[in-house]
């Protein structure tokens, strides 16, 4: 189960239907530039944090899904300790990340999607960047007092889904 699949399953889960929880994905609007590179990702994280702070002021919690480094949130002008922000990093072995990246590059080629960042010629470079980002995010999350890391390598999609739901339920009561 990938990030977007998990996001959709959480967002539509009946467990949260009557709760004041908003779910947002970094790429929910579909305006992601190639590989979500550059300032777009950091800007989008700031936009989502602003929305979360606004929702918090009205009594709602927010779940932000996507590739967001904790320091990007903590250093934001919209950050406040009152927001009770927790970070969750889902980890996979490098081998699985490699397989998914190469599969995505091949799928893009097969579908004639022009995304040079995931072309077969650039897949190795993209992979190095993705693995580096994943490692930085994991270490950064582990270093946060409210950081949670979930190793998903031995979990089925259903088990991962259930663990994330339980964590959200516990954290939303704090």
For residue 91, what are the domain limits?
Answer: 3-171
pLDDT of residue 119: 62
Please name every residue paired with 119 in a beta bridge, in sequence order, or none if there are none.
Answer: none
CATH of the domain at 97: 3.40.50.300
Rounded-to-10 torsion of CA 90, 95, 97, 100? -130
CB 62 within 8 A of CB 7: no
Tokens 């893009």 sit on residue: 108
Side-chain-side CA neighbours of 162 within 13 Å: the count stands at 5
pLDDT digits (tens, 9 = 90+) for 92-143: 999 988 888 778 777 766 777 666 666 667 777 778 888 998 999 999 999 9
Predicted structure pTM score: 0.82
The first and second tokens of residue 53, run together, are 């702070």
Structural domains counted in the chain: 1
Q: Give me the residues of the chain with pLDDT under 70, please.
A: 1, 30, 32-38, 108-109, 113-120, 173-174
Q: Which of 57, 61, 3 is nearest to 28 (CA)?
A: 3
């Amino acid at each position: 189960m990938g990030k977007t699949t998990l996001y959709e399953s959480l967002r539509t889960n009946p467990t949260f239907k009557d709760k004041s929880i908003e779910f947002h994905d970094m790429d929910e609007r579909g305006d992601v530039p190639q590989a979500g590179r550059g300032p777009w990702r950091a800007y989008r994280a700031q936009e989502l944090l602003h929305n979360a702070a606004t929702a918090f002021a009205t009594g709602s919690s927010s779940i932000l899904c996507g590739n967001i480094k904790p320091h990007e949130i903590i250093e934001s002008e919209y950050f406040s300790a009152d927001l009770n922000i927790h970070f969750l990093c889902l980890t996979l072995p490098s081998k699985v990340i490699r397989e998914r990246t190469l599969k995505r590059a091949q799928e893009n080629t097969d579908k004639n999607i022009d995304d040079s960042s995931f072309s077969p010629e650039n897949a190795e470079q993209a992979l190095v960047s993705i693995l580096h980002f994943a490692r930085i995010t994991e270490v950064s999350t582990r270093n946060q007092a409210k950081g949670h890391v979930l190793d998903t390598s031995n979990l089925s999609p259903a088990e991962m889904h259930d663990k994330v739901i339980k964590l959200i339920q516990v954290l939303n009561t704090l």
